Chain A
Amino acid sequence: MFDILIQGSGTLFSPMAMLMVVLGCALGLIVGVLPGLGPLMGIVVLTPVAFLIDQHAAMALLVAVYVGGSSGGAISAILLRIPGTPLAAATLLDGFPMAEKGKGAEAIGLAIAASAVGGLIGGMFLVFAAPALAEFALNFAPFEYFGLSVLGLLTVAVVSADSKAKGFAAMFLGLFIATIGTDNYTSYARFTLGTDALLGGLHIVAVVVGLFAFSEMFFEIEKGGFDKMHKQQLGRVSLIASLGTLARNWFNVVRSSAIGSVFGALPGAGGAISSFTAYAFAKSNAKPGQEFGKGEPNGVIAAESANNATCGGALIPSLALGVPGDAAAAVLMGALILVGYFPGPTLFENNKDVVGGIFIAYLASNVALLFLGTLLAPLFVFALRIKKQYLIPLIMLFSSVGTYAIQRSIFDLGAMLCFGVLGYLLRRSGYPLAPVVIGLVLGPICEENLRRSLIFSDGNYMVFFDRPISATLLYISAAILVLVLIPESVKARLKRRS
Chain B
Amino acid sequence: MHRRRISLHLIMPMALLLLGVAIIWHINTVFVADGATHTGPLDDSGLFPRIIGFALVILSGISLLQHLFQRDGAINLDGLSSGGFQLSALAILGTMIVYVAVLRWLGYGIATPLMLITACLILQCRLIWAVLLAVLGTFGMSLIFERVLNVQLPLGTLF
Contact = CB atoms under 8 A, between A and B. Distances in A.
Contacts of A447: 48
Nearest to B35: A188
B52 A165 contact: no
B145 to A, nearest CB: 6
A176 B23 contact: yes
Given A49-B149, A169-B63, A222-B81, A176 B73 contact: no
A450 B41 CA distance: 9
A226 interface: yes
B contact face: mostly helix, strand, loop, or mixed:
helix
B93 A169 contact: no
Interface string B69-100: 11011110101110011101100110011011
Interface stretch (A179-187, A301-309, A374-382): A179-187
B119 A393 contact: yes
A165 B92 contact: no
Interface in B111-159: 112, 115-116, 119-120, 123-125, 129, 133-134, 137-138, 141, 144-145, 149-154
Most buried by A among B41, B88, B151: B41
A484 interface: no
A224 B97 CA distance: 22
Contacts of A425: 8, 12
Given A397-B141, A410-B100, A218 B92 contact: yes
Contacts of B29: none
Contacts of B112: 397, 401
Interface residues of B, number: 76
A488 B9 CA distance: 19
Given A165-B63, A221-B85, A223-B81, A191 B26 contact: yes
Interface string A481-498: 000000000001001100
Given A393-B123, A396-B96, A222 B133 contact: no
Contacts of B74: 162
A392 B92 contact: yes
A366 interface: no
A212 to B, nearest CB: 15
A430 B75 contact: yes
B125 A222 contact: no
Contacts of A223: 79-81, 85
A451 B48 contact: yes
A311 interface: no
A191 B137 contact: no
A169 B13 contact: yes
Contacts of A222: 80-81, 85-86, 88-89
B47 interface: yes
Contacts of B59: 165-166, 168-169, 172
Contacts of B138: 397
Contacts of A404: 153-154
A396 B49 contact: no
Contact of B149 (A405, A420, A459): A405
A394 B61 CA distance: 40
Nearest to B75: A430
A410 B106 CA distance: 13
B116 A405 contact: no
A190 B48 CA distance: 11
Contact of A393 (B26, B52, B120): B120
Contact of B129 (A179, A388, A390): A390
Interface in A161-208: 162-163, 165-166, 168-169, 172-173, 175-176, 179, 183, 185-186, 188, 190-191
Interface string B22-65: 01001000010010100011111101110011011001101100
A175 B52 contact: yes
A400 B119 CA distance: 13
A495 B133 CA distance: 55
B52 A414 contact: no
B103 A190 contact: no
A165 B62 contact: yes
A413 B100 contact: yes
A382 B134 CA distance: 22
B21 interface: no
Given A49-B149, A394-B137, A410 B104 contact: yes
B110 interface: no
A190 B45 contact: yes
Nearest to B80: A222
Given A417-B93, A447-B48, A397 B149 contact: no
A232 interface: no
A417 B100 contact: yes
A255 to B, nearest CB: 31
B106 to A, nearest CB: 12
Contacts of A496: 69
A454 to B, nearest CB: 4
26 contacts: A49-B144, A52-B149, A166-B13, A166-B59, A166-B63, A168-B55, A175-B52, A179-B48, A186-B43, A188-B34, A191-B49, A223-B79, A223-B85, A227-B124, A389-B125, A392-B123, A393-B119, A397-B112, A405-B151, A405-B153, A410-B100, A417-B93, A417-B100, A430-B75, A447-B48, A495-B70
Interface of A: 49, 52-53, 162-163, 165-166, 168-169, 172-173, 175-176, 179, 183, 185-186, 188, 190-191, 214, 217-219, 221-224, 226-227, 388-390, 392-394, 396-398, 400-401, 404-405, 408, 410, 413-414, 417, 420-421, 425-426, 428-431, 446-447, 450-452, 454-455, 459, 492, 495-496
Interface of B: 8-9, 11-13, 16, 19, 23, 26, 31, 34, 36, 40-45, 47-49, 52-53, 55-56, 59-60, 62-63, 66, 69-70, 72-75, 77, 79-81, 84-86, 88-89, 92-93, 96-97, 99-100, 103-104, 108, 112, 115-116, 119-120, 123-125, 129, 133-134, 137-138, 141, 144-145, 149-154
